[in-house]
Structures are given as C-alpha cells and as structure tokens.
Amino acid sequence: MSEAMILLLAQLALKYGPVVGQAWHAIFTTANPTPAQWDAVWTKDSYDAYVPPANAGAGS
Amino acid sequence: MKRNRIALVLALALVVGCPGVPPQTVAYRAIGSVAVTVDNAMKGWADYVHTMGRCAPIAPTPNCVTVAAENSVRSAFNAYKKGENAAHKAIDAYRAATTAPTGTPGVPNTSAMESAIAAVSAAASDLVGAISQQKGGKP
C-alpha cells in the first residue's frame, strides 16, 4: 500500500468516517462471505457512473 | 503521523492475513478493502468535480477541473476496473473450484487469485495517486 493511498484513507476517514468505518467493519468481520456479499463487494462499472458527464440529464 | 501510518498498515496486514483464515475470506477482505477505498475515493473525486466545476471552453473559472485532469483519473479508473475484472474472474474460478462436488475437475488456484488481487491493489494505489495529484493535495 503506497503512501498516497494511506494518506487518502486518512482523509476519507476524516470526511466519511462513519460510512467508511461501517463498510470496513462489515468486510473485516465477515468470516464466510455469502454470494450476495460477493456481488456487493465490487465498485461501479464505469467512471461515468461516479462522475456523470456534463450533458447527463440534459433531456432527450 | 508516520507512526499512525505504520499502525494502519500493520492493522490491515493483521486483519487481512490472520493465520487460519480461509483464502476465500482473505480474498474477500482484501478485495473489499480495496473496493471500499476506491469507491470512496471516486465519490470524493465526484464531489470535487461537482464543487469546483468543469472548465468552460471560454473564460474558465479558477481551480476548475480540466478535461486533462478528468482524463487522467478516468484512465486510472479504467486500469483499476480492468484489474478488478481480472480479480473477479480469478476469485469466481477459485470459488467455483472450492465448491465443486467431489470428483469434478478443477483445482482451486490460490496463487492466481492472490496475483490478481495484488495487481488490483497496485492499480488502486495508482488511481488514488492520480486523484490526489489532480486535487493538488486538497481533501
């Protein structure tokens, strides 16, 4: 784990502490992950799913 | 600060790699911690883009997010996602092999799974580095 990643983790912990904390706690206390837990562990499919394009929702 | 970082790394290493924990659980914890980190880093980046705004072609505002900055993060995310998809396949193959009925062919490939997770961790680190760089160290 790089220094940049550790620094970002610290920043995230400060900003989103409870949310990240709960997610980490859920992951680290899971002994035998269920199929549903495996399905939920991945990130979103694309960059645009996190950062919608400027013209998103501009109407059709 | 440095002591905190060392403690965090040690804590992660202990939690992820406790002796006696099945490889599948270790994989879940490793990929889960990476995914939570990346997910929140991307949410933080989305907040940043939303707050600072994208640079307009004419008269861009100060500190706006350039197309080049977004492309840098997008490229790092795509590289991460490629690694995550590879890890997903390796983990699925491992799980399928471990849950297969006795007598069916298929050997759980722990090393392939571990290599894929190591690769996705490196890609996540690059992504986080790219986000930090584009934000100029701003949280």
Q: What pLDDT does B14 receive?
A: 45
Measured distance CA(B25)–CA(B23) in Å, rounded: 5
Beta-carbon contacts of residue B119 (< 8 Å; ≥ 6 apart): B83, B86, B87
Q: Complex ipTM, two decimals?
A: 0.79
| B129 with A33: Cβ contact below 8 A | no
If one compares B49 and A31, the residue with the highest pLDDT of the two is B49
Measured distance CA(B67)–CA(B88) in Å, rounded: 30
Beta-carbon contacts of residue B138 (< 8 Å; ≥ 6 apart): B48
Q: What is the mean pLDDT of residues A9-27?
A: 70
**pTM of the predicted model as reported, rounded to 2 decimal places:** 0.78
| A50 with B139: Cβ contact below 8 A | no
| B9 with A37: Cβ contact below 8 A | no
Chain A: nearest CA to B64, how far in angstroms?
13
- Interface probe, candidates B29, B34, B36, chain A, greatest A C-beta count within 10 A: B36
If one compares A24 and A41, the residue with the highest pLDDT of the two is A41
If one compares B13 and A42, the residue with the highest pLDDT of the two is A42
Q: What is the mean pLDDT of residues A52-60?
A: 67
Q: Tens digits of per-residue pLDDT, B68-86?
A: 999 999 999 999 999 999 9
Lowest pLDDT segment from B5-9, B41-45, B64-68, B106-110: B5-9
Q: Which residues of A touch B91 (CB under 8 A)?
A: 38
Q: Which residues of A touch B88 (CB under 8 A)?
A: 42
Chain A contact for B91 (CB, 8 A cutoff): yes
Residue carrying structure tokens 């799913």: A49
Q: What pLDDT does B111 receive?
A: 87
